[in-house]
Structures are given as C-alpha cells and as structure tokens.
Structure 1
Amino acid sequence: MQSNLLEPAVDDILKKTVSAADGELLVVDPSKETLEALVSVAAEAETDLDVSVLARETVLKQVTSDFIFSSRMADLVAAEQLSLHVLDTVADNSLLLWDDAVLAIVSGTDSVSALAATDVDFIRSVQASYEAQISDAPVFSLRTPPLSEVRKTLQMEISAAAQTDFDAMLGSIDRMGENEPVDEVVISLLTAAKNDVLLYDISKWGEDVGVASKATFSRTKTRLEDAAVIETEKVPIDVGRPRLRLTLSPTLTTKEPAAIVAATREAIAR
C-alpha cells in the first residue's frame, strides 16, 4: 500500500510517484504548476513512460502557450509517453493514480504532500471512475511542434551552428509568457542573425516546422530592427526582389547567446 509523501516541491512528489508507478501514471486535474513540473520530470525521465493527463482546458492552454513546455510536451506525445485529455468537471484535488494507489496533492507554505488513500474499495472506485472519464474525454491537440523536430530541421535546413546557438538561447530562458518578450520567433531570428542567414530561409523553415507563419517572422523582424537588435542587408537574386540577410547589431556580434537574449530583452522593453 502506498504511503503518504511529503517533499519540498511538487517536482519531488512527481519523481517519486513516476518511479513508484513504474512509469504508468494517471494525473487528474493538475494545477498549472503541477502540469509544468510533470512535463519537466517526464522530459528528464530515463525510463519509458505512459502518463495520461486529465486536465481543465484552461490549464492546458496556459501551459501550452509557453513554447518551452509545449514543445517538450509535443516530444512526449510524439513518443507516445504522454496523452492529454480535457477534463469537463473540476476534481476536489489534483490526483495521482496508478495500479493500487490514489494520492491527493496538497500544497503547503514550505512543502507539498501527497496523501494516499488506504481503503481498497475506494481506490478501485476512484480509478474506475477516472479511467471511464479519460476514455470518453476529448484529446487536447498541441499546435507546437516537438522540440526534437525543431532542432533536427534547424540543423538540416540552416546549419549545425545555428542549432547550437538556438539551443543556447532557448536554454537561457526559464519560461515564456506575458512577462518574457523573447519568444520562439525572436530566438529563431536572433539565431539567424548570429549566423548571417536570409530572412526567407529562416521564415520558411519556421513556417514549415510549425514555429510560426512567415508573416509573424516578418513582423517580428521589423520589431527587432526597430529595437536596434538586428540589421538587414539586401542580397540580389537572379529573378525577383532582393532578399534580406539578417545580421546582429554590431554591439551584439561578440556576445554569447545568453547575453544576446538578455540584451534583446532589454532593448524590446525600452
């Protein structure tokens, strides 16, 4: 019988439950923080997982609005290690279910506990109820491409150096959202500018892989130009209008990727 857990953070609870459940876990009505922690734990797990999430649509949309979490989730979904389903009713607590265990997550001021049910009949009843719900619940579709696909295609279609810079810039950001002006499109354009890539090439790659549309890349390029972060130079082609090569502002050319991101954040905020 599973016992109660008490840990400093929900990440620690999830690491222990994923291990105890041998990778097969049902997570019901997680908070935004719990779902983000689950994605981080699952992405770092060294064993195969079979995690099903039954969550409110608002929570799913909040988490997937962040490219960092959404692209990791897309990797797990593509690997069939994670499935996302929409919960139409709110549970009393966030629950973790597997085999013969039902745990309710309770957050305190300085710690998080997972309280285990002990009545066998109750455990079976709860599991049967949510297994029935998840079989009928609509699947939540991700619009973000898997991070592995983004990295692979960037290396193939742009360059290995560009992929390395993209990884370094993305790795310098904890999360994206309302308070973070540097998003996946900005990072893609900064990567292109650092490697003297044509706007046409990076925006075509971005649209093809599903990062954003060419129009979004174009608008963001203009915003970065206005902020004096990147510059453009015309490159003649055989037929048609010249294309634009992206370059970094001279003040950024010698900076490391993380410093470029920090400087861009400050420039956009001015």
Structure 2
Amino acid sequence: MDSNLLNHQIDDILESVLEEAAGDVYMVNPSWDAIEEFVSVATEFDGELPTVHMLADERTIKDVMADFIVASNAADLIADGTLSLRTLEEAPENSLLVTESNVVAVVHAGDRVGGLATDDEGFVDAAYDTYEHRWEDAASFNLRTPPISRVQETLATEISGEAEDDFTAILSSLETARGDGEGLDEVTISLLVAAKNEALLYDISKWGEDVGIASKATFSRTKTKLEDMGLLDTEKVPIDVGRPRLRLKIGDERLRDADNSQLATVAQSILN
C-alpha cells in the first residue's frame, strides 16, 4: 500500500484497504460518510472480502442505519459473515483502518480526505492487538433491519415477482430511504408497490411484519396516511369467513402514469 493516500475519496481508501487486506480488518471510529461508503464499496466489491469488524460510535451507527438502503445492504454483509458491528465507549482521535500489515489513519481536511498509512511492523502489531482486545470487550450492535436479499426473495414469493421488480427499481432510483423528506421510507415504498400491483393490504402488511420491515400496525397507519393524502385508494374484497379485506390501488392519477423512478419522485413531491 502507498504510504499516503492523499487527494482520494473515502471509497478509494476503503477499496484499497479491502483489496490488500490478508486477514481481518478493524474499522475504528468511522464517520457517518465512511460507514455509508463502506457498505456501498463492500456490496459492490469484486472479489473475496475480508472480515470487517466495525467499532463505531453507537449514535453514529443508529443515524446511518436509519436509511433502509444502507441498513438492508449492511444486513446482507452481516448475514454473509463479512461484517460485524460493535460500539465504542471511548473513540480514538482519528478514524482508523487496522489490518495485519497496515494501519491507515483517515484524516479529513475540509472537503479533502487522506489516508495516512504505515506498515511499520512493531506499530502495526501493537495497534492490531489493541483493537483486537477492544473488540472483544465491546458491546454488539443489533441491526434490526432485514437483509435486502431476503426482502427481495420473500416479496417475490409472498406477493409477486412484478412487485419485487418494482420495489428494487424504486429503491435504485433513490439516494436514501429515510422517510424524512429526502427519501421515502421502506413501509411507504412497500405500500406503493402493493398498490401498483393491486395486492391486498393484509398480504403486504403480513409480509412486512414477517420479514422484519415493520409491524402490521405500522403498515396500517401508513396506509391510512397515504390514503388520506390521495396517494392510495382501497376497495373491499369479500372473503368466505370474516371481514372483507382491502385491495390497495394507486389513488393519484400522477402516480398511475409514472414509471418506477418517477413514482418515487412524484410520491415524494406529494408527501412534501
């Protein structure tokens, strides 16, 4: 590895470390951006990933993982055994990437990022041992978001392949899925996809609860909100026993005429 990785983006630094790491990697005190970029780089990585032990500030992890896109991809990495998350009680001054052969300090200077690296054997061994022990003593972070691969697989099975295609296309059109005005949240996306495919509210909410996206009650509350705003409509479907179930339908003409990328944009503009 070059002794200094200056004038690089954080994703370039992360990719260099992942490509050259022979064993486990300790990612220590990463920034919000570094966590997001790591998940993106690792998800698209062409090759065998090392096991990455991420030691991060608990609040930072929670804030980053509020984005369903980041969290669901991180959950895939965890399920694959290539990522594990634990929390730091005392953070070092810099963000560090520690491997068996290198230590890289990630330094932010305004809008510039540099990776200052050393392969000094004594220093690297001491740093690796330090964070290996800190890792053993750190508390695990429980990421409740389901892996995106399981979300897609079960949606195709429980609702339809077309619904899964729509869900994936809408996610791909978004930069974030937080439901904070910058992106639709995962429950809203699920309901819009269900409405586009005229699925039953019972089926999509049961799927969402079973896969771990949100409770049936959350789906019901969100459906009511979207229906009140005119995005969704419903029609009653009689069943043999019990109360009729509700079929979801697109309620706003602008959404009916939109493709998946436009659907997200139009829905956001209406919700805002």
State the TM bucket, normalised to the shorter chain.
over 0.9
For 1:69-88, list aligned pairs within 5 A. 69-88=70-89
Write out per-residue CA displacement over residues 171-209 of structure 1, whole angstroms, 9 at most, x where no aligned residue. Answer: 111113333351000000000000000000000000000
Paired residue for 1:209, among 201, 208, 211? 211
Write out per-residue CA displacement over residues 55-90 of structure 1, whole angstroms, 9 at most, x where no aligned residue. Answer: 111111111111111100100000001111111111
Which amino acid counterpart does residue 149 of structure 1 have in structure 2? R
Q: Distance in 1 between matches of 2:39 and 2:22?
A: 16
Q: Distance in 1 between matches of 2:116 and 2:8?
A: 15
User: Where in structure 1 do 4 or more consecutive aligned residues deviate above 6 Å?
Assistant: none
Q: Which residue of 2 aligns with 1:180?
A: 182
Q: Distance in 1 between matches of 2:183 and 2:119?
A: 47
Write out per-residue CA displacement over residues 3-40 of structure 1, whole angstroms, 9 at most, x where no aligned residue. Answer: 11124310111111111214742100001111111111
Which amino acid counterpart does residue 254 of structure 2 have in structure 1? T
For 1:129-144, list aligned pairs within 5 A. 129-144=130-145
Q: Which residue of 2 aligns with 1:193?
A: 195
Check whether the contact 1:7–1:13 (CA below 8 A) recurs between aligned residues.
no
Which amino acid counterpart does residue 166 of structure 1 have in structure 2? F
Q: Distance in 2 between matches of 1:224 and 1:267?
A: 10
Q: Distance in 1 between matches of 2:22 and 2:231?
A: 48
Shift of residue 117, structure 1, vs aligned partner: 2.9
The yes-or-no answer on 1:257 pairing with 2:260 is yes
Write out per-residue CA displacement over residues 205-239 of structure 1, whole angstroms, 9 at most, x where no aligned residue. Answer: 00000010000001111111111111111111111
Q: What TM-score do the two structures reach when normalised by structure 2?
A: 0.95
Check whether the contact 1:107–1:113 (CA below 8 A) recurs between aligned residues.
yes
Q: Distance in 1 between matches of 2:148 and 2:39?
A: 13
Check whether the contact 1:48–1:81 (CA below 8 A) recurs between aligned residues.
no
Taking only aligned residues, the RMSD between alpha carbons, in angstroms, comes to 1.5
Q: Which residue of 2 aligns with 1:103?
A: 104
Q: Which residue of 2 aligns with 1:146?
A: 147
Q: Identity across aligned pairs (percent)? A: 48
Check whether the contact 1:2–1:101 (CA below 8 A) recurs between aligned residues.
no
Against the structure 1 CA distance between its residues 70 and 23, is the aligned structure 2 distance closer, same or farther, given a 3 Å change threshold? farther
Q: Distance in 2 between matches of 1:136 and 1:173?
A: 37
Against the structure 1 CA distance between its residues 248 and 23, is the aligned structure 2 distance closer, same or farther, given a 3 Å change threshold? farther
Matched residues, number? 269
Q: Which residue of 2 aligns with 1:238?
A: 240
Which amino acid counterpart does residue 28 of structure 1 have in structure 2? V
What secondary structure, in the 3-state scheme, does the structure 2 residue paired with 1:85 have?
A: strand
Q: Distance in 1 between matches of 2:20 and 2:183?
A: 39
Q: Which residue of 2 aligns with 1:124?
A: 125
Structure 1 range deviating more: 45-54 or 84-93: 45-54
Q: Distance in 2 between matches of 1:94 and 1:84?
A: 15
Q: Distance in 2 between matches of 1:113 and 1:251?
A: 46
Structure 1 residues without counterparts, runs of 5 or longer = none
